[in-house]
Amino acid sequence: MPTEVTPHPAGRGWEYAPAPESRDIVSIAPQYGLFIDGEFAPAADGAQLGTVNPATEEPLAMVARGGPADVDRAVAAARAAFEDVWGPMPGAERAKYLYRIARILLERARQFAVLETLDNGKPIRESRDVDVPLAAAHFFYYAGWADKLEYAGFGPAPRPLGVAAQVIPWNFPLLMAAWKLAPALAAGNTCVLKPAETTPLTALLLAQVCQQAELPPGVVNILTGAAETGAALVAHPAVNKIAFTGSTEVGKQIAAAAAGTGKRLTLELGGKAANIVFDDAPAEQAVEGIVSGIFFNQGQVCCAGSRLLVQESVAEEIAERLCRRLATLRLGDPMDKNTDIGAINSRQQLDKIEELAAAGQAEGAHRWSPPCELPGRGYWFAPTVFTGVSMSHRIAREEIFGPVLSVLTFRTPAEAAAKANNTPYGLSAGVWTEKGSRILWMAQQLRAGVVWANTYNRFDPASPFGGYRESGFGREGGRHGLAGYLDG
């Protein structure tokens, strides 16, 4: 592996014309209430917090900051809806509501995509082509299960658990809401969902979709707020199930708080995935997979392929191709349809990425980014590749959650598997090779919940997703995704 990598001298020979998506399709209210029992209302104590567009730092809206009294009210509404309406409702009837939500999501797809990009900073291309269609697909998929639960392999008469407290992060705000709500509702549970502080807006638009679909009041409640709101929600004694996606640190706190309470718990936490490229892999395809593995959503993805393990004999070739490809990525206005790399979600996250990248340099790895101009306002970080990384470096061990790739090399498949597994996490991995037998062998060796072969970051509602060890437990997606919401 070269310690020096130089960008392709040609760079981009020409420029795209601006292709901005219009934001007029969505109207953002100056303030939003909590969505409890089918209606929007301010927090009991009137507290609010602001959300900004991370690409411009422009304030977008104020949202209610739920406190303990609001948590009580939301959980009570969910409990009443569970006992009186949703729990007793036949699965075939519940399915109709889920199908309706899915269809409305598709009808309003452009609104959701624009709002997601404004609030999160991700490129419109991604919110339009990935987040929103996949969110709708989850509702469609689980709608199909609602009347077939007795055939799902959880016993002849599986029962819903009751009230689900669901806490989600800021990297895929709408999609994570769909991952949580769709299986819970299909199984007959009611939900109180707490979106992340920095990305509450699409969850609130989803609340409007629930109204539009005439979902019975209290079946879905959206409780915006900060970390304390999430902590009060998961600690509430009338909650039966906790589903959390976010950092390993907070996941551990929630696991400790839930211990001995009888609440069911699933955790989807961090990762430090290895994307492993063998010498027989089709190089162009592998480079595309490496790029989407770590630069999709600015690398703010729990299953991001943040450690590239490349076989020594092709390391130089892959590095050169990668650098050439990175020089063609377009960083900038997330609302531009040609943008590949958008903004980092928050100042706090940007600080964390900068701190870890600086640690990589201080520990002796070689840092490289393609020439790219960062906008003057907003939270931005250039795509970055570190070569000369060793397993002991912080950038090889800690989840950076940003557009930063650490490159390591290996000689044999056994060494690749050992290096890939040398992490406290176990969420995902990628293998690039033409040999089917090697794919199967590697998949057996890798301690990861998901192993992609000759592809990366591929999601489907029918396919389970989740981790081992410090990446959490439980699965979302597929038949397995129902297990966390049913008693056999």
Q: What positions carry a catalytic annotation?
A: 268, 302
Question: For residues 413-442, which are near ligand NDP according to CB under 6 A?
Answer: none
Could you tell me which stretch among 21-29, 137-145, 149-157, 246-254 binds ligand NDP (CB under 6 A)? 246-254
Q: How far is the CB of 45 from ligand NDP (least distance, A)?
A: 17
Reading the block at residue 41, the tokens are 């209302």
| 246 binds ligand NDP per the rule CB under 6 A | yes
Residue environment code for 231-259, b if the CB has 16+ CB neighbours within 10 A, otherwise e: bbbbbbeebbbbbbbbebebbeebbeebe
Residue type for position 137: A
Q: Binding ligand NDP by CB under 6 A: which of 52, 250, 322, 439?
A: 250
| 379 binds ligand NDP per the rule CB under 6 A | no
Choose between 410 and 465: whose C-beta lies nearer to ligand NDP.
465
Residues 398, 403, 409, 412, Cα dihedral to 10°: 80
Residue environment code for 261-288, b if the CB has 16+ CB neighbours within 10 A, otherwise e: eebbbbbbbbbbbbbbbbbebebeebbe
Question: What is the spatial distance between Cα 124 and Cα 334, in angstroms, rounded to a whole number?
Answer: 6
Q: How far is the CB of 451 from ligand NDP (least distance, A)?
A: 18
| 302 binds ligand NDP per the rule CB under 6 A | yes
Residue environment code for 12-40, b if the CB has 16+ CB neighbours within 10 A, otherwise e: eeeeeeeeebeeeebebeeebbbbbbbeb
Question: What is the spatial distance between Cα 446 and Cα 410, in angstroms, rounded to a whole number?
Answer: 15
Question: What is the spatial distance between Cα 407 and Cα 415, in angstroms, rounded to a whole number?
Answer: 15
Compute CA distances 8 → 141, 330, 407, whole Å: 44, 15, 19
Q: Quick check: 427 and 467 in contact, CB under 8 A?
A: yes
238 φ, ψ (degrees, to nearest 5): -90, 5
Choose between 81 and 258: whose C-beta lies nearer to ligand NDP.
258
| 344 binds ligand NDP per the rule CB under 6 A | no
Choose between 270 and 334: whose C-beta lies nearer to ligand NDP.
270
Question: For residues 213-242, which are near ligand NDP according to CB under 6 A?
Answer: 226-227, 230-231, 234
Q: Quick check: 142 and 98 in contact, CB under 8 A?
A: yes
Q: How far is the CB of 319 from ligand NDP (least distance, A)?
A: 26
Question: What is the spatial distance between Cα 372 and Cα 300, in angstroms, rounded to a whole number?
Answer: 20
Choose between 340 and 476: whose C-beta lies nearer to ligand NDP.
476
Could you tell me which stretch among 32-40, 79-87, 245-253, 430-438 binds ligand NDP (CB under 6 A)? 245-253
Q: How far is the CB of 246 from ligand NDP (least distance, A)?
A: 3
Reading the block at residue 457, the tokens are 């970051």
Q: Binding ligand NDP by CB under 6 A: which of 245, 298, 409, 445?
A: 245
| 273 binds ligand NDP per the rule CB under 6 A | no
Choose between 167 and 310: whose C-beta lies nearer to ligand NDP.
167
Reading the block at residue 3, the tokens are 């310690």
What angle, rounded to 10 degrees, do the helices at 201-212 and 173-186 form?
40
Helices (H), 156-311: 173-186, 201-212, 227-235, 248-258, 283-295
Q: How far is the CB of 293 from ligand NDP (least distance, A)?
A: 15
| 253 binds ligand NDP per the rule CB under 6 A | yes
Q: How far is the CB of 173 from ligand NDP (least distance, A)?
A: 9
Number of residues that bind ligand NDP (CB under 6 A): 26
By Cβ distance, which residue is nearest to ligand NDP? 230
| 197 binds ligand NDP per the rule CB under 6 A | yes
Q: Quick check: 324 and 5 in contact, CB under 8 A?
A: no
Choose between 117 and 349: whose C-beta lies nearer to ligand NDP.
349
Choose between 169 and 183: whose C-beta lies nearer to ligand NDP.
169
Choose between 66 and 160: whose C-beta lies nearer to ligand NDP.
66
Q: Binding ligand NDP by CB under 6 A: which of 38, 54, 121, 169?
A: 169
Could you tell me which stretch among 151-159, 194-202, 360-368, 441-449 binds ligand NDP (CB under 6 A)? 194-202
**Sign, CA torsion 402/270/112/196:** negative
Question: For residues 380-399, which are near ligand NDP according to CB under 6 A?
Answer: 399
DSSP E strands in 257-365: the ranges are: 264-268, 274-277, 307-311
In the complex, which residues of this chain contact ligand NDP (CB under 6 A)? 167-171, 194, 196-197, 226-227, 230-231, 234, 245-247, 250, 253-254, 269-270, 302, 349, 352, 399, 401
